[in-house]
Amino acid sequence: MRYFLKKTGCICLCMVLLFALVSCGDKKSADQGNDGRVKVYYLNQLRTSLYPVSEGVREQSARKKVSFLLRQLSTAKSDKDYTNPIPEAVIIRNFTLKQKQLIISFSRDYETLSKVQEALLRAAVVKTLVQLPEVDSVTFRIVNESLLDSAGNAIGAMTADSFVDDFDFEQDSTKAVYLTLYCPAADGSGLIKESREAHINENVPLAQAVMSQLSKSPDSKNADVTLPASVKVLSVNVNDGICYVDLDSSLDNAGGNVSENLRIYSIVDSLCELDQINRVQIIIGSGDDAKVVNDDNNNSTYSPNLNLVNAG
């Protein structure tokens, strides 16, 4: 009887272990999806959070799947609501995949990324690639050296569980909003009013959504983009009715027939359409080099000027 119980217990334990292994395999397959689709983690256009997008992977071999996804994560998407987490300056030198352990070697330019940029890049790449059945973990290397954390310790193999959910910008929690924007006329004669529908995450402030839309090509054929690709938005914050917009460079050298003043009022008038904003402060640069742009009356904040809007 004792022998029978021991034998029965062994059989039950084996069945539990087998079920656990099958469950893990099923979860991995479910992550990629039966139709070969994976959730590719891009960044929103402000580069402040992850933006997952479901995409099909038609490649058959493991190496080709990895190559395809890394190429997607490195390619700019200026006409979308999302963009590449791996900037153009950071080069993927090579990668190796052995026994489901993926090792990616980056160029030295990786070390120039800010802490936020680096954390988002790492989260985007790892969370995207570990969905493949052929990849269990991802390790980053800078040329041939281990990637180090802020304490100088090597960051080893990473999985999706290595990252907190604070980075997530989930597609299933987006909402449609209708924004009123004022885009500069291409000939520099004034502003053109247009209404635009945008799909944004529930947690993204409307002010950020407005700035993101102003970096896209306008719907009006006679209008120009407010924020050209050469100008990046560093931050957008609202406090006591004032929206603080921090840009990395001046709008003075944005090119075309549109003046800096018109581009600024394109931002101001668009943001002031939101109920919680009545004035805007424009800041160029960050840290000790930051400079506030004053209006024509030497005020540090701008009020909307709808007199610049073209009739019709």
pLDDT of residue 20: 43
Confidence of residue 312 (pLDDT cuts 50, 70, 90): low
Query: In degrees, to the nearest 5, what angle opens at C-alpha 288 toward C-alphas 285 and 289?
Result: 35
* Eight-class DSSP state of 302: B
Mean pLDDT of 178-192: 95
DSSP secondary structure string, 187-223?
Answer: TSS-EEEEEEEEEEETTS-HHHHHHHHTTSPPSSTTB
- Percent of the chain clearing pLDDT 70 (strictly above): 84
pTM for this model (two decimals): 0.50
User: Which is higher by pLDDT, 156 or 22?
Assistant: 156
pLDDT of residue 36: 78
Residue 253 scores a pLDDT above 80: no
Listed residue (174, 155, 168) closest to 128, CA to CA: 168
Listed residue (116, 128, 123) closest to 47, CA to CA: 116
Q: pLDDT tens across 217-226, in order?
A: 898 889 999 9
Residue 102 scores a pLDDT above 90: yes
Q: pLDDT tens across 55-81, in order?
A: 889 998 999 999 999 999 999 876 677
| Spatial distance between the Cα atoms of 209 and 193, rounded to a whole number of angstroms | 17
- Grouping H, G, I as helix, E, B as strand and the rest as coil, residue 235 is strand
Residue 34 scores a pLDDT above 70: no
Residue 6 scores a pLDDT above 60: no
